A and B are shown apart, each in its own frame.
Chain A
Amino acid sequence: MSSNVSGSSFPDPDTSRVVRFAARPRPNAPPGKNGFLNLSLLLLVLLSSSGLLAIEEGELKATPATIRLRGQLSSQQVLLTTSRDGVDVDLTRQAEFQPANEDLLRVDGKGILTAIGSGRTEVVIRYEKKEVRIPVEILKGETWLPVTFEQDIQPVLTKLGCNAGTCHGKQRGQNGFQLSLLGFDHDFDFDALVREGRGRRVFPASPANSLLLLKAAALTPHGGGKRIAPAGKHYNTLKRWIAAGLPRTPPETPKLQRVSVFPTERIMRPRTGQQILVTAHYSDGSSRDVTRLAAYQSNESPIAKVGKTGLVQAGPLPGEAAIMTRYMGKFATFSVSIPLEGEIPAEYYRSLERNNFIDELVWKKLERLKIKPSPQCGDSEYLRRVYIDVIGRLPSPAETRTFLSSKDPAKRRDLVDSLLSRPEYADHWANKWVDLLRPNPYRVGIKAVRSLDRWVRKNFRENKPYDRFVHDLLTSQGSTFRNGAVTVFRDRRSPEELVTMFSQLFLGIRLECARCHQHPFEIWSQKDFYSLAAYFAKVGRKGTGLSPPISGSEEYIFTKKGGEVRHPRTNEILPPRPLFGDSPTLSSSQDPRQALALWMLRKDNGFFPAVMVNRVWADLMGRGIVEPVDDIRESNPPSNKELLDALARHFREVNYDLKTLLRTILASRVYSLSSRPGERNIADTRNYSRHYRQRLRAEVLLDGVCDITGIPEKFSAMPPGSRAAELWTHRTASNFLDTFGRPDPNQDPPCMRIEDTTVVQALHLMNAPNLDRKIRNENGRAAALAASKMSPEEIVEELYLLVYARYPQDEEMRAGSSRIPPAGTPVKGRRSAVEDLLWALLNTPEFLFKD
């Protein structure tokens, strides 16, 4: 190792590990593709004591390939990469960097070049006996470039954490000093630093005595501790800015347009490191290295963590992580995959069957991670799964018998078709939407809520294309008694509330943070928020508004002549403007919501189909490609972007026909994978290499229990015989539904459904008086079976078909039937035996879960 590295105070944990990793014998490595093979072999032999090596080592590659620095102490992170077994490996911290002219350039052990003079030179980077040279041009290397507020100071304050939400960036600041969160408001921050407190925070006549520097360097007591080293680089920048008279960045200065990251993705071996390089790009085409000024966050720290300097460390386990890099409100993401150890031949993945594009894209991802999918599930598993998913009920014994006995090779496809045309389909899928839209009837009135409920169900019965559904909801007008869609506008009464809801539900964009400040991990500003809200400025209301707890009156929603939305800080009137893309033109008489709908439904608005396919996929597969399902943003990357994109494209191509989308997903091999893991996918919880089990939803469970026991539930304010799937409000009393986590309209958020199991659920299935009455009812299933002429074996078979949708296995049949007295014996004993077996089956996970 070079003296640079050993002299560094920077911890370098993978130095030794590279050697160990390289020393692993790889007898099956393919022959080298280039002339370096022999050389690298020799090198590795020298490197390792075991000497048994056959790793294909590629050429050295330095990034960036050419460097241009401007100004004294301007710097550039350089990365050194090579290819090992076809996988790129970061060698930056093992390499030796040698400037050709040490008067112009300084280099440290982490690959950072710093300008100290002007002119052209080059840097030689050596690793083992290979080397690569990169030309460097330095302009004004002896000159301190001017330091200005927006361009130079704000990034430093952000990097140091001064304006973080836990510090001076929080809503009321910290100890009387407040900055905007992560520096989104330059004017405010400049005032806070320069003008507020009679300018005591900065002291141009004697910069070192500025409170800003004294506090940050903890030379006077500072609640936040020591943030910078006196005389360090950041200290120096702040001091020069104060000394120069606190200049703002001139408005004509090129604007930051985006940041990029290198590399964007890597396959990493466990316990190795990868430095990332973050570059800011400006409107004049220039760029600069901001690696040391960017902030970093990993979405899966145990898989790969990232330090303040942008060094990513792979953990010991296989998996994936996304490292988010943030610089002055712009983001870029670096994706890490750590595959399972061991090799799987490519033919294995080629040989996997593909029914459609879903299989193609999922297998592709599995190949990357070297995960093997589970086998296809059996017919009875598929049957129960698809009934629950498509129509939210369990198959009846007759349906199960028919399906299992059919020899038709197309029977799975035919089953899906027949389920999609059943009336329960509409109720089951409409329920998912009413969950999200349904207001509390105590707030907006019973009739208005019923009217919304009917409207949503009608749309699903008619299979209205999803884009029309959203369009009609978004632009609805008229009476809350006649057009249920407008109830949403009765419930949400301000543009701010409406925009938050519509953007989250239909675009997967969460804007509530932007209402008050720019969200740290989001690109939307306050201005974006209120400009989008302005599309709802002309929503007019006539009639009697809310008067809880009855709110029984009728209200009309119409388009007003006037109405505007103002920016809360600047008080500027904001015309309607979409979040991105062109603004559709709008005549003054038009309902602005029409324009908003046009923009949302535009072909190039990928958010619109993506959030819906992601919801549907999550419901069917047990986990969203993006989680949470309605939080689509660059800083929350999908587990399989290609798949999400392809599904979204498909949904648009089939004109937003939900049934077609369902058919496509249900037809895939991926959907019908078994839940039983193998050795190479047991730890996979996000790549769909097996079916992820889900607990049945509250309504599905309750309806299932009623169907199985033969005793329907009685709901208040519903006709007799109604099913839980048909309830129009969660205010309908039901301990069962509450216990199994239906949304609680009294909670925030009111649409939150609990999917977990709890001890209370286990107790409820065991002991709830209502359930006990169903099992032991004299008009119920158990009583009827006991009173029938059926043999014990026939009863056992019937119960297994009812509860599990499968035939009992021999052993189960023997055990079950031995407990039931034969037909003709006293009914009492038979009945309690059947009841007990039924109770036992209902209390097993095979009933409670979708397998």
Chain B
Amino acid sequence: MKKPTSRSHQVNCEGLSRRSCLQLGLGSFLGGGLVSALRFRSLAASEGAAATAPTSCILVWLDGGPTHYETFDPKPEAPKEIRGEYETIPTGIPGVRFSKHMKRLAGITDKLAIIRSIRHDHGNHGAGNHYMMTGAPTRIPVSCGAFVSFHPSLGSVTARERGAPKGLPAYFSLGRMSRSGGPNFLGARHAPFVVKNDPNQGSFRVRDVALPKGLDGARFSSRQDIRREVDRFLRIQNETAGDPVAAYDEYFRQGHDLITSAQAQEAFDIHREPSTTRDLYGRNSFGQRALLARRLVEAGVPFVTLYDGGWDHHTNLFKSLDTMLPPRDRALAALIQDLDQRGMLDSTMVICLGEFGRTPKINERGGRDHWSNAMSVLFAGGRTPGGQVVGATDRKGYSASRRVLSPENFASTIYKKLGIDPGKILYTPEGRPIHLVSDPTPIRELMG
């Protein structure tokens, strides 16, 4: 099981070490000024309590909007142009069927909760991504091409509220960063650490985190001393000044921690996994990223986003899914089972979704288009009662019709499980109060 991994090593009996105070100075730069500084103090003070039930989150993001029909909400009774080409298969839940490729997940439904009734009205990628990734709709209308951030993402809020484990960032994004997965006003220090490299490659290492060949640790640390000595560039100590140097300082510190951290080096070393485990997840980029996510959570990282692109199936839906779904089904099932066997499933949420579902009628190019009236979301772990389907869409899958839920309910559920109050107020650097989630009601069926 996990050790208490928060900042306890830095905390002295007055609550904050000198180093934390330095960070605090920075935090007030980048985050919410005095208010966040006070919160930080209260966080530091309550670390003992937080350490008893630290749930982590692995958010599998299928970018583009995965179809609900061909995954967890098939409609075998609907006309052909709606139900599509795939057969359905039974699951462990009586009367509940998945689409044909979700074989392994269908076999472990005792550990899953499928939500079929989250819906919203932001049917383009920019806005849909923002809504699901942050729990807040975009403030102004945005379009498909938009890479927007009006509100901090689930991961960035978690990074801020939960803090980082020793030597590792608090928030990872594997593959790439998702559009709205950034920190917004929480500031650069809560941005995800993106691992672009593919862990399925034999040469996998996280670029630039290892020291260059022929340079030992002693020399690296003496270079750091020299750097501290020569760095006399004036820092503008005021958050409203927006000095970009402040963000760089924070990144430098994070980078330095990573390089010098044994925990980080070990967590990244996926080659330590037995090859049977690696096979179980599937020897492909998605599978190995799922495995890396588990290793990071094991090392105490509270939030990992596994980014997976290519789900915007306007054309050739079935042909694409024939190759895309089986490895995802395999890896997700392996991840959930592996966590379970390690006794980590109760403290690790695995969530899989995209920005919305897809249109009921198959279009003339054999695809389905954007559809935010219905979507399916997979939830497992983090004490989520398994063996259940929450809500339902109508007969043809047009719209969530029973137990209709919002992205706010979704985000609130995640925050609650992470030990973060979804109703709390955050402050922007200008001091403006913002609700973390406007409707802080979690999905009660998932709360256990």
Chain A residues in contact with chain B, CB under 8 A?
164-167, 170-172, 174-175, 297, 301-303, 315-317, 513, 520, 675-677, 682-683, 685, 692-695, 735, 748-749, 756-764, 766-769, 772-773, 776, 809, 812, 815-816, 819, 832, 836-837, 839-841, 843-846, 848-849, 851
**Shortest Cβ-Cβ A-B pairs, 5 listed:** A772-B212, A683-B240, A763-B208, A840-B227, A762-B255
Q: B residues within 8 A CB of A166?
A: 121-122, 137, 141
Minimal beta-carbon separation of A383 from chain B (angstroms): 16
Q: A residues within 8 A CB of B122?
A: 166
Q: Are B121 and A843 in contact (CB under 8 A)?
A: no
Q: Are A763 and B431 in contact (CB under 8 A)?
A: no
Q: A residues within 8 A CB of B325?
A: none
- Cβ of B80 within 8 Å of any chain A Cβ, yes or no, is no
Minimal beta-carbon separation of A18 from chain B (angstroms): 22
18 A-B pairs in the complex with CB atoms less than 8 angstroms apart: A164-B141, A174-B121, A302-B430, A316-B431, A513-B143, A677-B241, A693-B244, A735-B207, A759-B191, A759-B254, A763-B207, A767-B210, A767-B212, A809-B232, A812-B230, A837-B226, A839-B223, A845-B233
- Cβ of B365 within 8 Å of any chain A Cβ, yes or no, is no
Q: A812–B209 Cα gap in the complex (Å)? A: 30
Besides A748-B145, A809-B232, 5 new A-B residue pairs in contact (Cβ under 8 A), listed by A number: A302-B432, A766-B255, A766-B259, A773-B212, A836-B219
Q: Could you give, for residues 248-266 of chain B, a 1 whenever the CB lies within 8 Å of some chain A CB and a 0 otherwise? A: 1101101110110000000
Q: A residues within 8 A CB of B232?
A: 809, 812, 846
Q: A694–B244 Cα gap in the complex (Å)? A: 7
Q: B residues within 8 A CB of A303?
A: 430
Minimal beta-carbon separation of A741 from chain B (angstroms): 13
Known: A315-B432, A839-B223. A693 touches B123 (CB 8 A): no
Question: Do most interface residues of chain B lie in helix, strand or loop, or is the interface mixed?
Answer: loop
Find B241's partner among A172, A683, A773 (CB 8 Å cutoff).
A683
Minimal beta-carbon separation of B375 from chain A (angstroms): 16
Sort chain B's interface into a size bin: 35 or more
Closest residue of chain B to A758 (Cβ to Cβ) is B251
Q: A residues within 8 A CB of B184?
A: none
Q: Are A757 and B141 in contact (CB under 8 A)?
A: no
Q: Are A757 and B431 in contact (CB under 8 A)?
A: no
Q: A residues within 8 A CB of B236?
A: 675-677, 682
Q: Are B229 and A815 in contact (CB under 8 A)?
A: yes
Minimal beta-carbon separation of A348 from chain B (angstroms): 22
Minimal beta-carbon separation of A620 from chain B (angstroms): 16
- Cβ of B322 within 8 Å of any chain A Cβ, yes or no, is no
Q: A816–B223 Cα gap in the complex (Å)? A: 12
Q: Are B254 and A762 in contact (CB under 8 A)?
A: yes
Q: A residues within 8 A CB of B258?
A: 759, 763
List B residues 251-283 near A (Cβ within 8 Å). 251-252, 254-256, 258-259
Q: A residues within 8 A CB of B447?
A: none
Find A695's partner among B207, B223, B244 (CB 8 Å cutoff).
B244
Closest residue of chain B to A181 (Cβ to Cβ) is B141
Q: A residues within 8 A CB of B248?
A: 695, 757, 761-762, 845, 848-849
Q: A764–B208 Cα gap in the complex (Å)? A: 6
Known: A760-B208, A767-B208. A832 touches B219 (CB 8 A): yes
Q: A316–B232 Cα gap in the complex (Å)? A: 34
Find B249's partner among A315, A317, A776, A845 (CB 8 Å cutoff).
A845
Q: A172–B140 Cα gap in the complex (Å)? A: 19
Q: A233–B363 Cα gap in the complex (Å)? A: 43
Q: Could you give, for residues 200-232 of chain B, a 1 whenever the CB lies within 8 Å of some chain A CB and a 0 otherwise? A: 000000011111111100010011001101111
- Cβ of B243 within 8 Å of any chain A Cβ, yes or no, is yes
Q: Are A836 and B243 in contact (CB under 8 A)?
A: no
Q: Are B234 and A676 in contact (CB under 8 A)?
A: yes
Residue picked from B188, B255, B258, most chain A C-beta under 10 Å: B255
Q: Are A767 and B259 in contact (CB under 8 A)?
A: yes
Q: A773–B240 Cα gap in the complex (Å)? A: 39
- Cβ of B169 within 8 Å of any chain A Cβ, yes or no, is yes
